[in-house]
Chains A and B, each alone.
Chain A
Amino acid sequence: MKTQTHAEFLKWYETIHEPFVRYCSSRAYGLIETEDLVQETILATLKGFSRIQHKEKLLGFMIGVVNNLIKNKLRRKKFRGQWDEVLLEKLESRAPSPEVALDIHYLLKAMEQLPARQKEALILFEVSGFSLREVAEIQESSVAAVKTRLHRSRQKLRTLLTDEGSTSTSVSARLAAYASILL
């Protein structure tokens, strides 16, 4: 019975694997390993899989599970935050260059500070690659509301990523981070 459920789940999951993992990767940054978040989400989803009436909405369901898992971990403080150097090292192994890794690092740090719905919309649209209409369906909103969230999230990111913004993105902090990668 369980193998049947797993097989059916995998059939639906295969089509959403890439955007889902990209979403988890962005949400998990600095909090939990992406692989752990993916596995915990799948296990939680499987528990309620038979009750999901419209399987084509699986991604929206799983994103809700991810959001709740992250929220619970933050609330219970049952996570070990990783040092920036460790995070950068991991990113560097996947990015085309240390400079790109650093840019992505600061971007992800800034994205953490966005309001929840804006963060979700931005990741779904810009990182997971969904269209405005698809993001609206996942968020159960109108396209207009999604556009507003995206606009505001980009505005907020511009504020956070200027030298006058957060101290974590100051010039001296960036230079120190560069030095830690290169030395």
Chain B
Amino acid sequence: MSQQKKNITRSLRALRQLPLEISFEQVEQWLQQQTTFELESPSWWMRLWLKWGRSKEDKN
């Protein structure tokens, strides 16, 4: 194998062995925060819908 091929092979191997920038646990935690955020902070349309639902109940 030529020197150049060896260098490229070596660099590719080094790239493959770099530590990951983000772990699976970090992804899991981030996704959990996304879900919590959505559950605790209803979007504007949901607030509007809830408001409409409450005012209908008051009328009845």
* A and B interact: yes
| Contacting residue for B18 out of A2, A38, A104, A161, CB 8 A | A104
Do A127 and B15 have beta carbons less than 8 Å apart?
yes
Do A21 and B22 have beta carbons less than 8 Å apart?
yes
For chain A, give the interface size range. 35 or more
Q: What's the Cα separation between A74 and B52 when bound, in Å?
A: 43
Q: Output the least CB separation between A132 and chain B (Å).
A: 15
Q: What's the Cα separation between A3 and B36 when bound, in Å?
A: 9
Q: What's the Cα separation between A25 and B18 when bound, in Å?
A: 10
- A2-B38, A3-B35, A38-B27 as given contacts; A95 in contact with B5, CB under 8 Å: no
Say yes or no: is B20 at the interface (Cβ < 8 Å to chain A).
yes
Say yes or no: is B46 at the interface (Cβ < 8 Å to chain A).
no
Which chain A positions have C-beta within 8 A of B12?
107, 126-127
Which chain A positions have C-beta within 8 A of B8?
107, 154, 157-158, 161
- A10-B28, A42-B27, A129-B16 as given contacts; A107 in contact with B11, CB under 8 Å: yes
Do A26 and B20 have beta carbons less than 8 Å apart?
no
Do B14 and A100 have beta carbons less than 8 Å apart?
yes
Say yes or no: is B4 at the interface (Cβ < 8 Å to chain A).
yes
Which chain B positions have C-beta within 8 A of A154?
5, 8
- A157-B8, A161-B8 as given contacts; A103 in contact with B14, CB under 8 Å: yes
Do B16 and A35 have beta carbons less than 8 Å apart?
no
Contact surface of A with B, Cβ cutoff 8 Å = 2-3, 6, 9-10, 13-14, 17-18, 21-22, 25-26, 34-35, 38-39, 42-43, 91, 94-96, 100, 103-104, 106-108, 126-127, 129, 154, 157-158, 161-162
4 nearest A-B residue pairs (beta carbon): A107-B11, A126-B12, A17-B24, A103-B11
